[in-house]
């Protein structure tokens, strides 16, 4: 009988970003990479690709990607025979350290409790990751993950760990595990989708306004919404001719855009945001908007705000439904 070698669940590529290709909606669809070790590659991006900030140990937003950035890309073991080869990207890791400790992408092949620790088998049985009560837990979508027992076989995770013991299987202790519950999440909110919701809530007004964004096709279905939002100063471009219609939106960005749509109401000395454990992560530009959103009851109530976490289309729709129960903000 032949001994058939199983393909790995993913392959790690480390290299420098040479170019970014976006679709008609502005969303990133491929990354042109170069590496001294592995040569050039084109990494194909899909709506199932996860973006990770390794340093912050949080999801990342690709809107500020730029040529020259060095990335880890975990991609499919299957590649095209073209030059350069192309492969599907499963996870793109940014803010990578210069030594061990970077976020690593794994499929959980088995998860069993042994002597008070959770033993996670991955890499076709070639690596054991151990986690205990000291291991920090999070999810890609911001959903609650309080128990190690919620990490099941078949799940995908990002894990932060240091040296791997020189044994077979290799062994390492996980300092942080992020469950990639991407498939269970609602569709990520993009700038064009959010502006479309606001435009519709406003009655889809048509305005005479010169709009000249390099990444907005005048015939795109969201073009009129962006024209209107630009005329009302609800959004503005990035300063380089782009407005990023396909870029994912963080919670503080969403709050700021909706706040401007609502007329930029100001609250004086509002203390409500201090109830969040991560209040220090809020950008200064977003503080008035988040204070207003909190006062309106539009923010998470569990003590964790996640101002820079990517939000879902469902969350934006829920907020708009609540606000539209009142008088139309810009009426």
Distances in Å between the alpha carbon of 262 and those of 31, 51, 280, 291, 324? 37, 31, 25, 13, 10
Distances in Å between the alpha carbon of 26 and those of 22, 146, 188, 326? 5, 36, 14, 33
Length of the chain: 331
- Tokens for 157, please give them: 């995770």
Please determine, for residue 88, whether its predicted confidence score (pLDDT) is greater than 70: yes
Query: What is the spatial distance between Cα 206 and Cα 112, in angstroms, rounded to a whole number?
Result: 59
Q: Is-contact 262 323, C-beta < 8 A?
A: yes
- Among 251, 315, 320, residue whose Cα is nearest residue 286: 251
Query: What is the spatial distance between Cα 17 and Cα 73, in angstroms, rounded to a whole number?
Result: 11
Q: Is-contact 281 290, C-beta < 8 A?
A: no
* Preceding amide of 321 cis, omega within 30: no
- Looking at every residue in the chain, the average pLDDT score rounds to 87
pLDDT bucket at 6, cuts 50 / 70 / 90: low
pLDDT at position 5? 45
Q: Give the tens place of pLDDT for each residue, 159-202.
A: 999 889 888 899 999 999 999 986 655 567 889 999 999 999 99
pLDDT (mean) for 102-116: 92
Which one has a higher pLDDT value, 6 or 189? 189
pLDDT at position 316? 87
pLDDT bucket at 41, cuts 50 / 70 / 90: very high
Please determine, for residue 151, whether its predicted confidence score (pLDDT) is greater than 90: yes
Q: Give the tens place of pLDDT for each residue, 196-213.
A: 999 999 999 999 999 889
Please determine, for residue 110, whether its predicted confidence score (pLDDT) is greater than 60: yes
pLDDT (mean) for 55-76: 91
pLDDT at position 247? 85
pLDDT (mean) for 74-92: 86
3-class SS letters over the chain: CCCCCCCCCCEEEEEEEEEEEECCCCCEEEEEEECCCCCCEEEECCCCCEEEECCCCEECCHHHCCCCCEEEEEECCCCCCCCCCEEEEEEEEECCCCCCCCCEEEECCEEEEECCEEEEEECCCCEEEEECCCCEEEECCCCCCCCHHHCCCCCEEEEEECCCECCCCEEEEEEEEEECCHHHCCCECEHHHHHHHHHHHCCCCCCCCCCCCCCCCCCCCCHHHHHHHHHCCCCCCCCCCCCCCCCECEHHHHHHHHHHHCCCCCCCCCCHHHHCCCHHHCCHHHHHHHHHHHHCCCCCCCCCCCCCCECEHHHHHHHHHHHCCCCCCCC
Helix axes 191-201, 251-261, angle to 10 degrees: 30
Query: What is the spatial distance between Cα 257 and Cα 246, in angstroms, rounded to a whole number?
Result: 15
Q: Give the tens place of pLDDT for each residue, 271-302.
A: 889 988 889 999 999 999 999 999 988 887 76
- Tokens for 75, please give them: 């991609």
Q: Is-contact 182 51, C-beta < 8 A?
A: no
């Amino acid at each position: 009988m032949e001994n058939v070698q199983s393909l790995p669940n993913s392959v790690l590529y480390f290299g420098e970003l040479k170019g970014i290709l976006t679709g008609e909606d502005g969303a990133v669809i491929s990354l042109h990479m170069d590496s001294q070790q592995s040569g050039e590659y084109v990494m194909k991006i899909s709506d199932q690709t996860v973006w990770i900030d390794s340093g912050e140990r949080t999801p990342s937003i690709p809107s500020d990607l730029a040529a020259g950035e060095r990335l880890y890309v975990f991609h499919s073991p299957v590649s095209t025979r073209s030059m350069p080869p192309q492969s599907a990207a499963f996870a793109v890791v940014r803010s990578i350290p210069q030594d061990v400790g970077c976020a690593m992408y794994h499929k959980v092949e088995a998860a069993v409790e042994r002597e008070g620790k959770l033993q996670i088998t991955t890499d076709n049985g070639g690596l054991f990751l151990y986690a205990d009560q000291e291991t920090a837990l999070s999810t890609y979508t911001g959903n609650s993950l309080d128990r190690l027992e919620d990490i099941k076989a078949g799940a995908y995770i990002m894990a932060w760990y240091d040296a791997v013991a020189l044994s077979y299987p290799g062994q390492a202790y996980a300092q942080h595990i992020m469950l990639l519950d991407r498939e269970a999440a609602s569709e990520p909110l993009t700038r064009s989708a959010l502006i479309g919701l606001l435009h519709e809530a406003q009655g889809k007004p048509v305005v005479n306004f010169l709009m000249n964004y390099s990444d907005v096709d005048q015939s795109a279905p969201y073009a009129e919404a962006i024209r209107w939002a630009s005329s009302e100063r609800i959004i503005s471009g990035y300063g380089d001719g782009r407005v990023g219609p396909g870029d994912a939106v963080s919670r503080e960005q969403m709050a700021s855009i909706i706040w401007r749509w609502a007329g930029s109401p100001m609250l004086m000395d509002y203390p409500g945001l201090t109830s969040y454990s991560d209040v220090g992560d809020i950008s200064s530009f977003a503080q008035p908007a988040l204070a207003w959103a909190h006062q309106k009851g539009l923010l998470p109530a569990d003590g964790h705000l996640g101002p820079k976490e990517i939000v879902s289309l469902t969350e934006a729709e829920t907020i708009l439904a609540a606000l539209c129960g009142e008088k139309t903000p810009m009426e």
